[in-house]
């Protein structure tokens, strides 16, 4: 256990060295289930323990540590000159079920290491420095994501979670209150954030493939998701000649090949995925009369994403019409791309250049807490490489020396913003 | 209930008119389950009742009626000149679960009507006339098909059914013995079949589309079935750029479009179906790392079927290799096409011409008992149209006047062969 030094508000620097590996082992130990992997769902026993252990850990640095209404944890060192200008960093403390040891919590521990180093080497900052351990981002326990970051800005609507329950039937509100938290009333408690930085694993293999160690994120992709249902005619696979068929798997195959060809021609950062395919009746000897499939399309530029997906929609309708097949297109997710703050991107880049770090400006193909911050306060993200692009999996891994470069970029950027 | 007149072997003609509709309603009533549809699985209570009711019905015509060892029912009128030359007709008495009122049993009732009419109008035949109500063809209760017809020729291996059970865990042998039957020992009892005719619904929409009422079958297609597994890489749908993907759904889509294009170019009677598709993990936001799909390919010509499927196999390997995706191709069914007897085809055709019936020579895209008979005795099939091509479904339907034309073709062909 971590000893509670109880010297809140006073600068106490623990001199014992703590490697990032030690820290990640320590935080990953707070899990709802035995390994492999870490399972720490919102408001679960291990989530409560982790947040309280982090509170003690930040207090050991002499930081002021407080929870907000819903359970976001804020650790603050007051600035000596502009204490109301808060330079914040952090990420989410929750994980997916059987997640890895990095997604989310690396951003909290990186913030801890960066702030610790800054306090040791530079003393108190001019502006306030803050580490945020956000309550929830994944949507793994309840069907609601970004509960933590949305509450920081008072934009989470209690109505959206009042009627939701987890897989065990436990209601969101009951779980929240049992953990000692409740809906935010009035304005958020920590509303002086002047800038936000989030360090996160890439969860892809772009850095690995380019050989760079630090990703300077310029935007988080917008994404549209669809469910498409094709309705043709179920027929006997032997007795129905090819010219009399309305084969929905064939129709889907034409849609997929044509759309992916177009996506490749459009070029990066556009990505297009047909991840789910469910024909009916799904048996070897029946021409499939109905097929459901999913589309996931992402791009960093809103106009390009809109134009491309509209083209794909038109193409799909044309292919289906040509084959005499009915098509139902349901777009159930439509999130706009979120650009990061230009000045912060520039600052991180110049930090990398000045520190001789191997970096690459890139976009994020996945969603992050930063997309809630970015429209509201100047925000930037730092990526570290994911070995094999693997994430949401116990095999999630980043080499310690790569994390070190990310932490260095974070610390130096925080320094330029807060000192 | 049908009255048992018990005048076995004596010619007793029931003069009360029985329409085909009445007969089909009567036989369809023997079902294991309440409607919709008829469910009459091998050796079930309704199967036993139906076979015994048919026995009585044939006996009313004064026919000799006997079961063989496994439960095939044979009703015979001995020929006056060549009694050992048996001209047989019939089909299977079992149905699929929730089947229609025609598949299989129409061939038995059509045989009944044809023989009844011949006996009434023409008296006793020179060669013997026989109606066979075959025990099983569908493979619906146990994973074994053609149990009835294979036992007629002594080619069913008891070893193949000894260890199989139905969905309720009832063993094949126990079900068979409980119904009063057992394995065939020695040679089959009814081995003097000189010709076999089967009337069946088309189960496709070829006759409907051509507007013809009688199908004269020239061959039953051969069929090959495959399970193909593609192994690529499961990746995050947002963070994995298009150029780094090994997307198995995309690979499958290329295989399907290219193969179906080739199948259409090859032309009828080749049919090619991709009926089953199962990607993993089958979720919207993961590039599918593995995809399983099925192939069903049929043609009436063995050489063409072999050549075409070999081409498709090579194409699939080439497409997968180009995308860096592993492919496993498992061909688990390989049945050769079965031609019908040329002289019988000719006889049915000339019957149709002479009787002014609207007919079409065609192949069967589905398997039938006749494919077991055809390599062993001269065999022919007569199809009647399936409304909408629908079969294996309670909605299975053929207009009564179309069935009438089929029965007329059957009766006249039996007459030419047996009188």
pLDDT mean across residues, chain B? 93
Q: Do residues B214 and B359 lie in contact, with contact meaning Cβ atoms separated by under 8 Å?
A: yes
Q: Do residues B331 and B224 lie in contact, with contact meaning Cβ atoms separated by under 8 Å?
A: yes
The reply to whether residue B237 touches residue A279, judged by beta carbons under 8 angstroms, is no
The reply to whether residue B238 touches residue A277, judged by beta carbons under 8 angstroms, is no
Report chain A's terminal Cα–Cα distance, integer Å: 33
Report the gap between the CA of B159 and the closest CA in chain A (Å).
26
Q: Domain of B261: which CATH number?
A: 3.30.70.360
Report the gap between the CA of B204 and the closest CA in chain A (Å).
5
Say whether both A53 and A136 belong to one domain.
yes
Report the gap between the CA of B116 and the closest CA in chain A (Å).
31
Identify all chain B residues contacting A145, using CB atoms and an 8 Å cutoff. Answer: none
Report the gap between the CA of A260 and the closest CA in chain B (Å).
8
Report the gap between the CA of B186 and the closest CA in chain A (Å).
36
Q: Is B236 on the interface with A (CB under 8 A)?
A: yes
pLDDT tens for chain A, residues 1 to 419: 333 333 333 444 444 457 999 999 999 999 998 878 999 999 999 999 999 999 999 999 999 999 999 999 999 999 999 999 999 999 999 999 989 999 999 999 999 999 999 999 999 999 999 999 999 999 999 989 999 999 999 999 999 999 999 999 999 999 999 999 999 999 998 889 999 999 999 999 999 999 999 999 999 999 999 999 999 998 889 999 999 899 999 999 999 999 999 999 999 999 999 999 999 989 898 899 999 999 999 999 999 999 999 999 999 999 999 999 999 999 999 999 999 999 999 999 999 999 999 999 999 999 999 999 999 999 999 999 999 998 888 999 999 999 999 999 999 999 999 99
Identify all chain A residues contacting B235, using CB atoms and an 8 Å cutoff. Answer: 204-205, 389
C-alpha–C-alpha distance, residues B315 and B320, integer Å: 9
Q: Is A393 on the interface with B (CB under 8 A)?
A: no
Q: What is the pLDDT of residue A34?
A: 85
How many cross-chain Cβ pairs, A to B, lie less than 8 Å apart? 223
Domain ranges, residue A308: 222-335
Q: Do residues A346 and A217 lie in contact, with contact meaning Cβ atoms separated by under 8 Å?
A: no
Say whether both B187 and B327 belong to one domain.
no
List Cα–Cα distances, B244 to A212, A236, B13, in angstroms: 16, 39, 78
List Cα–Cα distances, A119 to A116, A150, A198, A412, in angstroms: 5, 29, 19, 12
Closest to A2 (Cα-Cα) out of A65, A87, A89: A65
Question: Residue B8 above 80 pLDDT?
Answer: no
Q: Is A247 on the interface with B (CB under 8 A)?
A: yes
CA angle B84, B86, B90 (to 5 degrees): 155
The reply to whether residue A240 touches residue B270, judged by beta carbons under 8 angstroms, is no
Q: Is B298 on the interface with A (CB under 8 A)?
A: yes
Say whether both A206 and A226 belong to one domain.
no
Q: What is the pLDDT of residue A126?
A: 98
Phi, psi of A181 (to 5 degrees): -125, 170
Q: What is the pLDDT of residue A373?
A: 97
Hey, what are A96's tokens? 């997916």
- What's the pLDDT tens digit per position in B24-36? 999 999 999 887 8
Say whether both B60 and B147 belong to one domain.
yes
Residue ranges in A197-355 assigned as alpha helix (H):
206-210, 248-266, 302-322, 342-355
Say whether both B191 and B283 belong to one domain.
no
Kind and range of the H or E run holding A298: strand A290-299
Q: E strands along B168-213, which residues?
A: 193-201
Say whether both A33 and A115 belong to one domain.
yes
Q: Is B205 on the interface with A (CB under 8 A)?
A: yes
Identify all chain A residues contacting B268, using CB atoms and an 8 Å cutoff. Answer: 241-243
**Number of Cα atoms under 13 Å in the Cβ half of residue A64:** 11
Report the gap between the CA of B404 and the closest CA in chain A (Å).
22
- How many independent structural domains does chain B possess? 2
The reply to whether residue A253 touches residue B276, judged by beta carbons under 8 angstroms, is no
Q: Which of A335, A357, A383 represents a domain boundary (last residue)? A: A335
Identify all chain A residues contacting B291, using CB atoms and an 8 Å cutoff. Answer: 277
CB atoms inside a 10 Å sphere around CB A20? 19
Q: What is the pLDDT of residue A85?
A: 97
Task: Measure CA A257 to chain center.
Answer: 30
Identify all chain B residues contacting A277, using CB atoms and an 8 Å cutoff. Answer: 249, 277-279, 282, 288, 291
pTM to 2 decimals? Answer: 0.84
Q: Is B247 on the interface with A (CB under 8 A)?
A: yes
- What's the pLDDT tens digit per position in B353-363? 999 999 999 99
Say whether both B88 and B164 belong to one domain.
yes
Q: What is the pLDDT of residue B14?
A: 45
- What's the pLDDT tens digit per position in B36-60? 899 999 999 999 999 999 999 999 9
Task: Measure CA A135 to chain center.
Answer: 13
- What's the pLDDT tens digit per position in B100-152? 999 999 999 999 999 999 999 999 999 999 999 999 999 999 989 999 999 99
Report the gap between the CA of A287 and the closest CA in chain B (Å).
6
Q: What is the pLDDT of residue A383?
A: 98
C-alpha–C-alpha distance, residues A257 and B95, integer Å: 40
Say whether both B265 and B328 belong to one domain.
yes
- 3-state class of A92 per DSSP? strand
Say whether both B304 and B366 belong to one domain.
no
Residue ranges in A125-171 assigned as alpha helix (H):
147-152, 159-162
- What's the pLDDT tens digit per position in A213-237? 999 999 999 999 999 999 999 888 9
The reply to whether residue A275 touches residue B256, judged by beta carbons under 8 angstroms, is no
List Cα–Cα distances, B278 to A275, A278, B230, in angstroms: 11, 7, 10
Question: Residue B92 above 90 pLDDT?
Answer: yes
Q: What is the pLDDT of residue B191?
A: 82
pLDDT-derived band at B89 (thresholds 50, 70, 90) equals very high
The reply to whether residue A202 touches residue B391, judged by beta carbons under 8 angstroms, is no
Report the gap between the CA of B388 and the closest CA in chain A (Å).
9
The reply to whether residue B389 touches residue A239, judged by beta carbons under 8 angstroms, is yes
Q: Measured between CB atoms, which of B203, B242, B277 is closest to A263?
A: B242
Nearest CA in chain A to B269: A241
Would strands B338-339 and B290-299 be described as parallel, antiparallel, or unpaired?
A: unpaired
Q: Which of A335, A369, A391 represents a domain boundary (last residue)? A: A335
Q: What is the pLDDT of residue A411?
A: 98
Q: Which of B287, B310, B335 represents a domain boundary (last residue)? A: B335
Q: What is the CA radius of gyration of chain B?
A: 24
Say whether both A167 and A313 belong to one domain.
no
Closest to A221 (Cα-Cα) out of A394, A362, A391: A362
Q: Measured between CB atoms, which of A242, A247, A296 is closest to B268?
A: A242
Say whether both A257 and A217 belong to one domain.
no
Q: Is B265 on the interface with A (CB under 8 A)?
A: no
Identify all chain B residues contacting A244, using CB atoms and an 8 Å cutoff. Answer: 205-206, 209, 389
C-alpha–C-alpha distance, residues B419 and B415, integer Å: 5
Overall average pLDDT of the B283-292 stretch: 93
Identify all chain B residues contacting A234, using CB atoms and an 8 Å cutoff. Answer: none
Q: Is A391 on the interface with B (CB under 8 A)?
A: yes
Overall average pLDDT of the B288-302 stretch: 96
Residue A167, class by beta-carbon neighbours within 10 Å (0-12 exposed, 13-18 middle, 19+ buried)? exposed
Q: What is the pLDDT of residue A417?
A: 98
Say whether both A276 and A305 belong to one domain.
yes
Q: Is B204 on the interface with A (CB under 8 A)?
A: yes
Q: Domain of A79: which CATH number?
A: 3.40.630.10
């Amino acid at each position: 256990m971590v000893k509670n030094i109880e010297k809140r508000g006073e600068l106490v620097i623990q001199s014992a060295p703590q490697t990032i590996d030690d820290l990640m082992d320590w935080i990953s130990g707070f899990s709802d289930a035995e390994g492999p992997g870490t399972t720490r769902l919102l408001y679960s026993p291990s989530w409560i323990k982790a947040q309280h252990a982090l509170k003690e850990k930040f207090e050991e640095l002499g930081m002021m540590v407080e929870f907000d209404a819903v359970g976001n944890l804020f650790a603050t060192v007051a600035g000596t000159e502009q204490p109301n200008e808060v330079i914040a960093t952090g990420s989410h403390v929750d994980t997916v079920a059987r997640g890895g040891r990095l997604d989310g919590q690396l951003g909290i521990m990186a913030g801890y290491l960066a702030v610790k180093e800054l306090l040791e080497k530079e003393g108190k900052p001019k502006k306030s420095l803050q580490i945020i351990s956000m309550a929830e981002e994944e949507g793994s326990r309840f069907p609601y994501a970004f509960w933590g970051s949305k509450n920081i800005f008072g934009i989470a609507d209690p109505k959206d979670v009042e009627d939701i329950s987890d897989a065990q039937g436990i209601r969101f509100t009951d779980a929240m209150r049992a953990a000692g938290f409740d809906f935010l009333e009035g304005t958020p408690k920590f509303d002086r954030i002047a800038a936000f930085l989030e360090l996160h694993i890439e969860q892809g293999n772009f850095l690995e493939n380019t050989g760079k160690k630090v990703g300077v994120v310029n935007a988080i992709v917008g994404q549209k998701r669809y469910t498409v249902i094709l309705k043709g005619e179920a027929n006997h696979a032997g007795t129905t000649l090819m010219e009399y068929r309305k084969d929905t798997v064939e129709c889907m195959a034409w849609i997929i090949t044509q759309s992916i060809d177009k996506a490749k021609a459009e070029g990066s950062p556009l990505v297009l995925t047909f991840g789910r395919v469910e024909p009916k009746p799904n048996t070897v000897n029946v021409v499939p009369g109905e097929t459901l499939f999913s589309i996931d399309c992402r791009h960093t530029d809103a106009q390009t994403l809109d134009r491309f997906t509209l083209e794909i929609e038109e193409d799909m309708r044309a292919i289906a019409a040509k084959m005499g097949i009915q098509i139902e297109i349901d777009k159930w997710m439509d999130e706009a791309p979120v650009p990061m703050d230009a000045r912060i991107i520039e600052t991180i880049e110049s930090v990398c250049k000045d520190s001789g770090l191997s970096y690459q400006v890139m976009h994020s193909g996945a969603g992050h807490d930063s997309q809630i911050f970015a429209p509201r306060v100047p925000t930037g993200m730092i990526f570290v490489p994911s070995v094999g692009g693997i994430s949401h999996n116990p095999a999630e891994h980043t080499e310690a020396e790569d994390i070190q470069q990310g932490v260095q970029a974070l610390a130096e950027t925080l320094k330029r913003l807060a000192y």
